[in-house]
Structure 1
Amino acid sequence: MTRGRQIKIYLAEGSVTGIRHAEIVNWTGQALTVPRKRVKELGDWEESQKN
């Protein structure tokens, strides 16, 4: 049986329609989602500079 995983989602503006940063606990990967018209704002985020 597979074990469940915990996902942490940070809502930058407190809304699901804005910029969101998600990560799986105890894993190095992460995801950033943003509305298409606000993509340029990601350049200010430290998380978007990581490889």
Structure 2
Amino acid sequence: MNLPTILISLLILAVFIAIVARGICNKKHGKGGCSCGGDCGDCGGGCHCK
């Protein structure tokens, strides 16, 4: 592997880790993850709104 390939791979890995970390942080703080738009009456049970 050459240097540009390694650098691009590390950049893609860093972006992936940032996206996953952001999702975990949002889930811990109760943000996002609700596809019903906040109207839990329309959810099929997959949404746990507060």
TM-score range with shorter-chain normalisation? under 0.3
Q: What is the TM-score of this pair, normalised by structure 2?
A: 0.25
Between structures 1 and 2, the one with greater helix share: 2
Q: With CA pairs under 8 Å and 6+ residues apart, which has the higher RCO, 1 or 2?
A: 1
Q: What is the TM-score of this pair, normalised by structure 1?
A: 0.25
Between structures 1 and 2, the one with greater strand share: 1
**Who wins on radius of gyration, i.e. which is larger?**
2
